[in-house]
Amino acid sequence: MIEELGPGVTGFEIGDRVLVGAITPCGQCRACLSGQLSQCGHGEGYEAIGGWRFGNTINGAQAEYLLVPHAQANLAKIPDELTDEQVVLLADIASTGFSGAESGNVRIGDSVVVFAQGPIGLCATAGAKLMGASLIIGVDSDETRLDMSRRLGADVTLNQLEVDVVEKVKRLTGGGADVAIEALGTQETFENALRCLRPGGTLSSLGVYSGKLQVPYDAFAAGIGDYRITTTLCPGGKERMRRLMEVVKGERVDFTPLLTHTFSLDEIKEGYRVFGERLDGALKVAIKP
């Protein structure tokens, strides 16, 4: 809710409920004007890390008050009929997850496999469903998350501890998935996602990797498999938020089941403990200032 407006911010009033994306583009730099909003500020040094400012180059959102940079480009009014709980995950988790399906260019009738059914992977599963995939396979080792995966659109779920995922996906898809979405950021999931693709398929990577990431030549078809590998940083900006809220408003998707626990700001440490240890089926913890 807006507490105060700075100079140059128009079209808003004190008390308006607004949604702000985790990525806050300026709307004026070369990247923004080229349509690459999440890469806002590139060319100004790596310290910017695109448009990622909250909790990175400025204070984050786990506070009672938050100063929004480039507010005119980032404030999106929340429709009266939507609750805070219905929209809070759109700012980051859902925007990122959906972008996995969007960047992967999922088409009507595609087969899609989503590796890791944490909150981002679950949103990628929902995104693939929205974009018209006819077969969605969710992969994880947590049965609670696999249950939620089916609830959000997966047609088949696979526990990687129980089956050979690559072999199973190829059998289910008749030779390989059209799109594989990697939502964890490990060598194993990246490699398995690549091995699950049909020739000419797309690997859409949402994971954030550390250390050395390798691409085995056989998984990459020695470079002649016509594979496409694409990466995505969470799309932000007011228009992205508006569009995501329209999807929720139109009852095309409901992410409130992912909010399994709610804590006050004073209880945030306990919230992190519950989430980190996955206690009581925790998927996503909401913090209310």
Give a yes or no: residue 37 inside a domain.
Answer: yes
The answer to whether position 99 is within a domain reads no
Half-sphere exposure of 109 toward its Cβ, with a 13 Å CA cutoff?
0
**Residue 101 falls inside a structural domain:** no
Say yes or no: 242 and 274 in one domain: no
Same-domain pairing of 113 and 222: yes
Do 24 and 127 share a domain, yes or no? no
213 and 289: one domain?
Answer: no
pLDDT tops 80 at residue 44:
no
Looking at residue 43, its pLDDT comes to 54
How far apart, in Å, are the Cα atoms of 93 and each of 46, 90, 210, 246?
A: 23, 6, 20, 16
The answer to whether position 22 is within a domain reads: yes
* CATH number of the domain residue 136 falls in: 3.40.50.720
More confident residue, 179 or 221: 179
Percent of the chain whose pLDDT exceeds 70: 97
Domain end, chosen from 214, 229, 244, is at: 229
| Partner residues linked to 77 by β-bridges | 18
Q: For Cα atoms 248, 40, 207, give the angle at the middle one, nearest 5 degrees.
A: 65
CA–CA separation, 57 and 165 (whole Å): 40
Mean pLDDT confidence for 38-67: 79
E strand or H helix at 147? helix 143-151
Domain that holds residue 191: 108-229
Both structure tokens of 288: 């209310």
Q: Into how many domains does the chain fold? A: 3
When the pLDDT of each residue in the chain is averaged and rounded to a whole number, the result is 94
Given a contact cutoff of 8 angstroms between Cβ atoms, the answer to whether 51 and 24 are in contact is: yes
Mean pLDDT within 52-60:
88
Integer distance in angstroms from the first to the last C-alpha of the chain?
A: 11
Position 53 in a domain: yes
Q: Is residue 57 over pLDDT 90?
A: no
Specify the pLDDT at position 55: 87
Q: Read off the pLDDT of each residue in 61-87 and give the average, rounded to a whole number.
A: 95
Evaluate whether residue 102 is within a structural domain.
no
- Length of the chain equals 289
Same domain? 24 vs 85 = yes
Residue 48 pLDDT level (bands cut at 50, 70, 90): very low
pLDDT value at residue 46: 46
DSSP letters of 189-207? HHHHHHHTEEEEEEEEE--
The mean pLDDT of 273-277, rounded to a whole number, is: 96
In contact, 101 and 131? CB cutoff 8 Å = yes
Which pLDDT tens digit goes with each residue over 91-128? 999 999 999 999 999 999 999 999 999 999 999 999 99
Residue 243 within any structural domain of the chain: yes
Q: 12 with 63, same domain?
A: yes
Could you give the dihedral angle defined by the CA atoms of residues 88, 231, 228 and 180, in that order, rounded to the nearest 10 degrees?
Answer: -40
pLDDT tens string 189-221: 999 999 999 999 999 999 989 888 999 999 988
Check whether residue 159 and residue 267 sit in a common domain. no
pTM of this prediction exceeds 0.85: yes
Q: Using alpha carbons only, what angle is made at residue 245 by residues 261 and 138, rounded to the nearest 5 degrees?
A: 60
**Is residue 283 in some structural domain?**
yes
Query: Tokens 């209310």 label which residue?
Result: 288
Tell me, yes or no, whether 117 and 224 share the same domain.
Answer: yes
Instruction: Count each helix (H run) and each strand (E run) in the chain, helices first.
Output: 10, 10
Contact 94, 256 (CB under 8 A): no
Within this chain, do residues 78 and 136 fall inside the same structural domain, yes or no? no
